[in-house]
Amino acid sequence: MLRLVHPKDTDCTFPHQIVCLQLVLFDPSHPRFLSVSVDPVPSGVIHDQAAGWCDDVREEDRCISWHIREGSEIRCFVKLYPGQNEINFRCRGVLLLSHRVWFTPSSSTSGPGIQFVYVRCSDGEGRYQYYHPGSPPQPLSGEDQAPFTLSGEDQAPCHGGDHIDSQETGLQKVKLHALLAQCFYAEELVSRGYNRKTFNLTEPEVFTLSQTESEVLGEDFLERNNRIYDIVYQQLEKKGMIREDRKVTAILGCTRYIYDTNRDVIEDYICPHDFVRCHTAVGGGQLALMGGGGLYSWAWCLAVVGPYLNDSTRVNKKLLFDDSGGRGTYGTVYSTTMGALLHELGHSLDLPHTSSGIMARDFDHFDGWVLSGEGPGRFSTSSTAWLNKHPYLNGAVPTHEELVVRIPREGGGPIDLGGSGEERVPVDPGCQLSIHHDSYLIWGVEMSGKMWGEVSEHLTIMPPIETIAGLIVRSGALIDSLAWDEGPPAGKMVRIGGSG
**The pLDDT value given to residue 120:** 96
pLDDT interval class at 92 (50, 70, 90) = confident
Q: Is the pLDDT of residue 111 over 90?
A: no
Q: Is the pLDDT of residue 425 over 70?
A: no
pLDDT interval class at 489 (50, 70, 90) = very low
- Yes or no: say if 293 and 273 are a contact pair by the CB < 8 Å rule: no
**The pLDDT value given to residue 110:** 59
- Yes or no: say if 158 and 145 are a contact pair by the CB < 8 Å rule: no
Q: Is the pLDDT of residue 447 over 90?
A: no
Tell me the mean pLDDT in the region 7-17.
88
% of the chain surpassing 70 pLDDT:
67
Which is it for the CA torsion 242, 247, 253, 255, positive or negative?
positive
Looking at residue 150, the DSSP 8-state letter turns out to be -
Tell me the mean pLDDT in the region 191-220.
89
Q: Per-residue pLDDT tens for 247-256?
A: 999 999 999 9
Q: Is the pLDDT of residue 452 over 50?
A: no
Alpha-carbon gap, residue 337 to 294, rounded angstroms = 6
Which of 15-19, 138-142, 162-166, 465-469 has the highest mean predicted lDDT (pLDDT)?
Answer: 15-19
pLDDT interval class at 37 (50, 70, 90) = very high
% of the chain surpassing 90 pLDDT:
42
What are the backbone dihedrals phi and psi of residue 322, each rounded to the nearest 5 degrees, phi first? -90, 85
**The pLDDT value given to residue 80:** 95
Give residues with Cβ within 8 angstroms of 421, minimum separation 6: none
Q: Is the pLDDT of residue 438 over 50?
A: no
Which comes out higher in pLDDT, residue 390 or 434?
A: 390
Beta partners for residue 85, in sequence order? 40, 101
Tell me the mean pLDDT in the region 371-384.
87
Q: Is the pLDDT of residue 84 over 80?
A: yes
Check whether the bond before 489 is cis (ω within 30° of 0): yes
Q: Per-residue pLDDT tens for 269-301?
A: 567 787 888 899 999 889 999 999 999 999 999
Listed range (14-18, 52-56, 388-392, 467-471) with the worst mean pLDDT = 467-471
How much is the mean pLDDT over the chain?
75
3-state helix, strand, coil in the chain (%, to 5): 20, 30, 50
Alpha-carbon gap, residue 325 to 347, rounded angstroms = 20
Tell me the mean pLDDT in the region 406-419.
34
> For residue 292, which of 281, 305, 301 has the smallest C-alpha distance?
281
pLDDT interval class at 384 (50, 70, 90) = confident
Q: Is the pLDDT of residue 167 over 50?
A: yes
Check whether the bond before 7 is cis (ω within 30° of 0): yes
Looking at residue 135, the DSSP 8-state letter turns out to be P
Alpha-carbon gap, residue 210 to 85, rounded angstroms = 43
Alpha-carbon gap, residue 322 to 216, rounded angstroms = 20
Tell me the mean pLDDT in the region 58-77.
87
